[in-house]
Chain A
């Protein structure tokens, strides 16, 4: 369990992020075509996981645009944006903003990903959704970097995440 803030009010996660140096837990999430995907679908690539509570909120939208810009010049990296938004909302957002370099993945079928990655919020107005976090995985799915955002409505630390992908 970790302590974060949502608009300044204490909130708690169900667990802890995977440890740096460990192998990232596998997951099953739903892509925009409603097919299920796992970590193995992105085999051989470095991964940047941007976990947020909803693309229909300001900070998540900003972070997704920033990561999309980064991914433009990094064919060796896949940016996975993971939220509990339904795939229909994720697709609407990406089409509206013309974001083609990120892969959006949805927890529409269950919250196993949120539990396994320790980011499910157990209280606060957005209980049931996820805390803002960033993870970087290497080509072999080893965790290189993690950040649990101390304030959910604040942007992630982009520079440190990008540095971990060098």
Chain B
């Protein structure tokens, strides 16, 4: 369990992010075509998971645009937005904002990803969806960088995340 804040109020996550150096937990999430996707679908690639509460909120939208710029220049890495938004909302955002260089994956079927990655919020207004976090995973599915953003409304540390992808 980790302590963070949302609009300054203390909130808690269900667990801890995967430890740097450990093998990233496998997952099953749903893509824009309503197909289930697992970690193995990105085999051999470096992966950046940008985990956030909802693409329909300002900070999440901002980070998606920012990572999309990077993804456009680095097609060799998988930059993946993970949220509890339905794939329809994720698609709506990517179409309106033209952010088609990032992948969006949804927790529409369950919250197992949120539990396994320790980011499910247990209390506060966002209970049931996730904290804001970054997980960078190398070609062999080893975790090389993580950040749990201490205040949900703040942006993640882009420089540190992108440096870990190098």
Contacts and interface: CB of A to CB of B under 8 A. Distances in A.
- Our verdict on whether A and B bind, yes or no, reads yes
Given A34-B126, A85-B86, 11 more contacts: A54-B88, A56-B88, A85-B89, A86-B54, A86-B85, A89-B85, A89-B92, A91-B56, A92-B56, A109-B127, A128-B110
Binding site of A, secondary structure by majority: helix, strand, loop or mixed? Answer: loop
A25 interface: no
Highest count of chain A CB atoms <10 Å: which of B35, B84, B89, B109: B89
Interface of B: 30, 34-35, 54, 56-57, 84-86, 88-89, 91-92, 108-110, 125-129
Contact of A109 (B34, B54, B89, B128): B128
Contacts of B85: 85-86, 88-89
Nearest to A30: B128
Given A92-B56, A108-B128, A108-B129, A86 B89 contact: yes
Given A109-B128, A110-B128, A125-B34, A89 B109 contact: no
Contacts of A92: 56, 89
A88 B129 CA distance: 12
A36 to B, nearest CB: 9
